[in-house]
Structure 1
Amino acid sequence: MRIQIRPTLVFGNKNAKDPAVVDLVWLTSLLKDIEQGKTLMSACKKMGLSYRNVWQKLNNVEQALGFKLMDRVRGHGSHLSEYARYLIQFTDDFDQKTIRLGQTSLSHLEEGFAQFRVKAKKQWRLASSSDPIIQKAVIDIGGFELITAGSGEALERLLNYEVDIAGFHVSDPQSSKIISKRLQKEGMQIFPVMKRVQGLMVAKGNPHSITSTKDLLRPKIRFINRQKGSGTRLLLDTLLIKEGMDPRAIKGYENEEFTHSAIAMSILAKKADVGMGVKSVAIENGLDFIQLKDEIFFLAMGEELSANKDLAKLIRKIRALSGQTPGYKSIGLKKQILGWL
Structure 2
Amino acid sequence: MRIEARPTLILNTQDPERDAIDLYWLVGLLKDIRGGSSLVLASKNSGISYRGVWGKLNQVEASLGIPLMIRTKGHGSKLTEFGSFLCQFIEEMQGSYAQHGVSYQDALQREIKKHQKLEGARWSFYSSSDSIIQKAAAEVKGFGLKIAGSGESLEQLLNNNAHIAGYHVSDEKSSQVIHQRLRKHNIEIFPVMKRTQGFIVKKGNPFHIQAIEDLLNPKIRFINRQIGSGTRLLLDTLLLEQGIEPADINGYLHEEFTHSAVANAILAGKADVGLGVKNIALENGLGFVPLKDEIFFIAMHKDMLSHPESSKLIRKIRSYSGNTSGYKSISLNRQVQNWL
> Do Structure 1 and Structure 2 share a fold, with TM-score over 0.5?
yes
Give the whole-Å Cα distance in 2 for the aligned partners of 1:189 and 1:140. Answer: 22
Measured against aligned partners, the alpha-carbon deviations of 1:112-137 in whole angstroms (never above 9, x if no partner) come to: xxxxxxxxx86211000000000000
1:256 and 2:255 matched: yes
Local SS of the residue matching 1:272? coil
**One-letter code aligned to 2:226:** Q
User: Aligned AA for 2:297?
Assistant: F
Match in the other structure for 1:277 = 276
Question: 2:198 matched to 1:190?
Answer: no
Whole-angstrom CA distance in 2 between matches of 1:146 and 1:139: 8
- Aligned partner letter, 2:172: P
RMSD over aligned Cα atoms: 0.9
TM-score, normalised via structure 2 length: 0.64
Question: Please, which runs of 5 or more residues in structure 1 have no aligned partner?
Answer: 1-120
2:307 maps to: 308
Amino acid at match of 2:202: A
* Aligned residue number for residue 237 of structure 1: 236
Aligned to 1:224: 223
CA distance in 1, matches of 2:305, 2:188: 7
- Percentage of identical aligned residues: 60
Report what 2:294 is aligned to: 295
What does 1:320-331 correspond to in 2, within 5 Å? 320-331=319-330
Alpha-carbon distance in 2 for matches of 1:208, 1:324:
31
Residue-by-residue CA offset, 1:235-259 (whole Å, 9 max, x unaligned):
0000111111111100000010000
Aligned to 2:214: 215
> What is the aligned partner in structure 1 of residue 202 from structure 2?
203
The one-letter code of the counterpart of 2:326 is G
Asked if the contact 2:123/2:163 (under 8 Å) is kept, the reply is yes
Alignment partner, residue 99 of structure 1? none
Match of 2:246 in 1: 247
- Structural mapping, 1:328-339, within 5 Å: 328-339=327-338
What letter is aligned with 2:201? Answer: V
The 5-angstrom pairing of residues 32-51 of structure 1 reads none
Aligned residue identity for 1:304: D
**1:188, 1:206 → 2: CA distance?**
43
Q: Structure 1's 122 and 206: CA in aligned 2 closer, same or farther, altered over 3 A?
A: closer
CA distance in 1, matches of 2:187, 2:143: 19
Post-superposition offset of 1:339: 1.1
SS, match of residue 153 in structure 1? helix
Say whether residues 1:147 and 2:146 are aligned partners.
yes
Q: In structure 1, how many angstroms separate the alpha carbons of the residues matched to 2:238 and 2:276?
A: 14
Q: Any conservation in 1 of the 2:121–2:144 contact (CA below 8 Å)?
A: no
Partner of 2:115: none
How far has the Cα of 1:157 moved from its partner?
Answer: 0.4
After TM superposition, which residue ranges in structure 1, 4 or more long, deviate above 4 angstroms? none
The answer on 1:175 being equivalent to 2:166 is: no
Aligned runs of 1:63-78 on 2, under 5 Å?
Answer: none
Question: Which residue number corresponds to residue 266 of structure 1?
Answer: 265
**Pairwise mapping of residues 43-192 of structure 1 onto structure 2 (< 5 A)?**
123-192=122-191
| 1:264 Cα offset (Å) | 0.1
Q: TM-score, normalised by structure 1?
A: 0.64
Residue 318 of structure 2: aligned partner: 319
- Alpha-carbon contact 2:202-2:286 (below 8 Å) kept: yes
Give the Cα separation in 1 of the matches to 2:292 and 2:310.
28
Counterpart CA distance in 2 for 1:330 and 1:301 is 19
